């Protein structure tokens, strides 16, 4: 049995979500839970980690174009072939009612997929982006949550400021039993601190440079944990033990660099 | 029953050692391996400067093992001091693996490793997938002799030499012994390739990779047997060790200790504790009291 080997699939559908954000759908019949990720092989270019943005049989990843591999993927069309390994990682634990989701940028990808799965009308999503043009998945979120609050760093839409500041305002007024967050690590660090202040458990989904995806190459290590295998979702107790959380990550060579 | 052993002055609570390149890029992962029962740990192979390694895909599973072409990714020796400092808290021997392109680089790296406080250095003369390094140097008998000879003059800590099967093993091993190396580590992963049938192309970005895991065990056992039959210095066996009986087999072939890499993938990071338990079970069943009694009994 070879499980950790790329399965070649055809891109069945692509959809532009926003400027430089595209969803790629493909058929891949392994069971995937929200918060897990795939290693996506773009033949001849690279293999990169991508959260599952759709977890039924018609799977999907939603990609932001930021560099060589994602640009190459953006050029691919329906019928083109990519390799999929996984799913990897633990995924989110099904949260207790009532949930506050806090997502920044592409962090909305696993968050929207989880909100859609649990379908709790009383949960609330705080979604922050740099600017209005970078907002996506809005319709999808509105279908699964009663409330969506948006912030933009430049004030072009919704609350003018950071998602973490907006989340703080929300927490001052409303009660929650669980916080789920994904986005820039500085933001997630602030959310972890808010969770502590308001005594609400937090689950956060982390990103680190990945190679093997199966917990042996050590490139996604953070203080003895491996994001590919022990994560990418960690709870507040574990996050507080990670001295590098919100401060340092490692580049492709393993050097510890500031976030 | 006594699992503890000593190799070239390195006191180990048991003969299981973490192989280089698996969970060895960060100090905290090395600590975690120590907590999971290893007798010693080997670091990722470290070079002079930070190296990103090859593009992904770099690690795949094949039918009987793993195939990798990580490409000696490492943060560079200066940066690595911090990781060693953390790993040393484990109180078990830390073996510093190094790779260089020539004598000068190896001496420089070994001195640095020594100053960081490692118990021994391991020369990677066998990486099958990094241009200008590893195998490309390990295949040159004279160069290997020269590197080891120079190293022994420049550092006080034991020098281990890790070799590849893609060379004339016996004559290389004799050369390494005559250059006064303290131990030989065998084997590194074997040169391999995986071609995808749908895409009709090699999957690894580097095309060629190193094959490791269960499938290479017979090759490793044979290599250790040949080396142990021809030199007196200790041999550390490596390649496809998944359980206690695999370890015992290597020790019968002449290995004084064993390294485990892919086993971490197949059985989890506590593979070291599991293997020690299984060795003990075997020893009990066969009435051995000390692990050293097994070493080389298969050399017949
Ligand atoms: C668990 C996980 C889930 C992710 N999910 C998504 C997602 O759903 N959508 C999305 O758009 N992005 C996601 N990412 C980030 C995505 O992997 C990177 O944006 C992508 O690898 C960039 O590749 P590139 O060649 O285009 O960029 P490059 O120019 O190569 O690099 C740009 C940045 O991407 C990061 N990166 C490059 N290669 C890797 C790698 N192998 N592993 C981790 N980071 C890398 C680098 O740190 C660098 O900062 C996820 C990352 C992780 C770890
Ligand atoms: C992902 C991976 C990375 C490796 N990196 C190195 C390395 O940096 N230096 C080295 O000497 N050997 C490296 N090796 C080889 C192992 O140390 C070991 O010799 C080989 O895998 C055979 O043992 P095994 O079957 O127990 O894995 C690596 C192996 C793997 C699987």
Average pLDDT, chain A: 95
| Partners of A83 in beta bridges | A8, A41
**How many Å lie between the centroid of ligand 2 and the Cα of residue B211?**
9
Q: What is the CATH number of domain A99-258?
A: 3.40.50.80
The pLDDT tens digits for A192-239 are 999 999 999 999 999 999 999 999 999 999 999 999 999 999 999 999
Is B119 strand, coil or helix?
Answer: coil
**Domain count of the fold of chain B:** 1
Q: Provide the token pair at B254.
A: 């002449």
- Tens place of pLDDT per residue across chain B (300 aa): 899 999 999 999 999 999 999 999 999 999 999 999 999 999 999 999 999 999 999 999 998 999 999 999 999 999 999 999 999 999 999 999 999 999 999 999 999 999 999 999 999 998 777 777 877 777 788 889 999 999 999 999 999 999 999 999 999 999 999 999 999 999 999 999 999 999 999 999 999 999 999 999 999 999 999 999 999 999 999 999 999 999 999 999 999 999 999 999 999 999 999 999 999 999 999 999 999 999 999 999
| Partners of A41 in beta bridges | A47, A83
Q: Which of A73, A82, A212, A248 to probe by mutation at the B interface, max B CB count within 10 Å?
A: A212
ipTM over 0.90: yes
**Residue B56 within a domain:** no
Cα gap B91→B96, rounded to integer Å: 15
Regarding the beta carbon of B208 and ligand 2, being less than 6 Å apart is answered no
Q: Which CATH superfamily is domain A2-88 in?
A: Translation factors (2.40.30.10)
Q: Which atom of ligand 2 is nearest to the CA of B66?
A: 31
Q: What ranges make up the beta strands (E) of chain B? A: 5-7, 10-12, 16-18, 40-42, 59-62, 65-68, 94-98, 120-124, 159-162, 183-186, 190-193, 195-196, 201-202, 208-212, 235-238, 255-260
Same fold, A2-88 and A99-258: no
Cα gap B44→B52, rounded to integer Å: 13
Cα gap A199→A37, rounded to integer Å: 29
Cα gap B57→A56, rounded to integer Å: 26
Hey, are the CB atoms on B56 and A211 less than 8 Å from each other?
yes
Are B120 and B8 a contacting pair, CB within 8 Å?
yes
Q: What's the pLDDT at A2?
A: 62
Are A172 and A142 a contacting pair, CB within 8 Å?
no
Angle CA A122–A124–A130, to nearest 5: 165
Q: Provide the token pair at B208.
A: 């060629």
Regarding the beta carbon of B228 and ligand 2, being less than 6 Å apart is answered no
Please give the residue range of the domain that contains residue B94: 5-50+72-189+211-299
**How many Å lie between the centroid of ligand 2 and the Cα of residue B127?**
8
Contacts of B229 (CB under 8 A, 6+ apart): B254, B299
Taking contacts as CB-CB distances below 8 angstroms, the residues of chain A near B62 are 2, 5
**CATH code at B145?**
3.20.20.70
Which one of the listed residues B40, B66, B87, B127 is annotated catalytic?
A: B127
Q: Which of B18, B27, B29, B42 to probe by mutation at the A interface, max A CB count within 10 Å?
A: B29
Q: Which atom of ligand 1 is nearest to the CA of A61?
A: 8
**Residue B287 within a domain:** yes
Q: Provide the token pair at A4.
A: 């950790």
* Cα A52–chain centre separation: 8
Contacts of B27 (CB under 8 A, 6+ apart): B82, B83, B84, B85, B86, B87
Are A169 and A128 a contacting pair, CB within 8 Å?
no
Phi-psi region of A89 (alpha: psi -120 to 50; beta: other; left: phi over 0): left
- Tens place of pLDDT per residue across chain A (259 aa): 467 999 999 999 999 999 999 999 999 999 999 999 999 999 999 999 999 999 998 999 999 999 999 999 999 999 999 999 999 999 999 888 899 999 999 999 999 999 999 888 889 999 999 999 999 999 999 888 778 999 999 999 999 999 999 999 999 999 999 999 999 999 999 999 999 999 999 999 999 999 999 999 999 999 999 999 999 999 999 999 999 999 999 999 999 999 9
Where in chain A are the domains? 2-88, 99-258
Q: Is B238 among the residues known to form the active site? A: no
Regarding the beta carbon of B189 and ligand 2, being less than 6 Å apart is answered yes
């Amino acid at each position: 049995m070879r499980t950790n080997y790329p399965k070649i699939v055809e891109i069945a559908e692509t959809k532009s979500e926003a400027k430089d954000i595209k969803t790629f759908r493909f058929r891949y019949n392994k069971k995937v839970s929200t918060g897990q990720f795939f290693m996506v092989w773009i033949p001849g270019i690279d293999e990169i980690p991508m959260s599952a943005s759709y977890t039924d049989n018609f799977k999907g990843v939603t990609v932001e174009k930021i560099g060589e591999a994602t640009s190459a993927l953006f050029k691919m069309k329906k019928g083109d072939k990519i390799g999929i390994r996984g799913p990897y990682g633990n995924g989110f634990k099904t949260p207790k009612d009532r949930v506050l989701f806090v997502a920044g940028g592409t962090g909305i990808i696993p968050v929207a997929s989880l909100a859609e799965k649990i379908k709790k009308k009383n949960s609330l999503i705080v979604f922050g982006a740099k600017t209005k043009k970078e907002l996506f998945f809005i319709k999808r979120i509105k279908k699964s949550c009663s409330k969506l609050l948006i912030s933009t760093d430049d004030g072009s839409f919704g609350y003018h400021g950071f998602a973490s500041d907006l989340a703080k305002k929300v927490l001052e007024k409303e009660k929650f039993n669980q916080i789920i967050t994904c986005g820039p690590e500085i933001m997630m660090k602030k959310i972890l601190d808010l969770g502590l202040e308001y005594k609400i458990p937090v689950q956060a989904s982390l990103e680190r440079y990945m190679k093997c995806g199966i917990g042996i190459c050590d490139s996604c290590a953070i203080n003895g944990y491996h994001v590919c295998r022990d994560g990418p979702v960690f709870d507040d107790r574990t996050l507080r033990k990670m001295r590098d959380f919100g401060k340092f990550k490692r580049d492709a060579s393993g050097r510890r660099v500031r976030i | 029953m006594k699992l503890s052993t000593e190799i070239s002055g390195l006191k180990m609570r048991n003969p299981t050692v973490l192989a280089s390149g698996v969970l060895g890029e960060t100090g905290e992962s090395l600590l975690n391996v120590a907590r999971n029962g290893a007798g010693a740990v080997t670091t990722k192979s470290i070079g002079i400067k930070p190296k990103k390694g090859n593009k992904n895909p770099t690690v795949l599973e094949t039918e009987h093992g793993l195939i990798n072409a990580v490409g000696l990714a490492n943060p560079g020796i200066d940066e690595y001091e911090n990781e060693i400092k953390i790993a040393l808290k484990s109180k078990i021997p830390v073996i510093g693996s190094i790779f260089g392109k020539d004598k000068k680089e190896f001496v420089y790296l070994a001195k640095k490793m020594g100053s960081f406080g490692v118990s021994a250095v391991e020369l990677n003369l066998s990486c099958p997938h990094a241009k200008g390094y590893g195998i490309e140097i390990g295949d040159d008998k004279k160069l290997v002799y020269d590197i080891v000879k120079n190293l022994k003059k420049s550092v006080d800590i034991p020098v281990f030499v890790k070799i590849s099967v893609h060379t004339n093993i016996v004559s290389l091993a004799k050369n390494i012994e005559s250059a006064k190396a303290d131990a030989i580590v065998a084997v590194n992963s074997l040169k391999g390739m995986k071609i995808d049938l749908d895409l009709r192309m090699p999957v690894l970005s580097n095309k060629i990779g190193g094959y490791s895991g269960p499938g290479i065990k017979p090759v490793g056992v044979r290599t250790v047997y040949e080396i142990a039959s021809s030199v007196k210095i200790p041999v550390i066996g490596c390649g496809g060790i998944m359980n206690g009986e695999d370890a015992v087999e290597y020790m019968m072939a002449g290995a004084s200790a064993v390294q485990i890499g892919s086993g971490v993938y197949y059985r989890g990071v506590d593979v070291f504790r599991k293997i020690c338990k299984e060795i003990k079970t075997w020893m009990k069943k066969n009435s051995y009291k000390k692990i050293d009694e097994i070493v080389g009994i298969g050399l017949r």
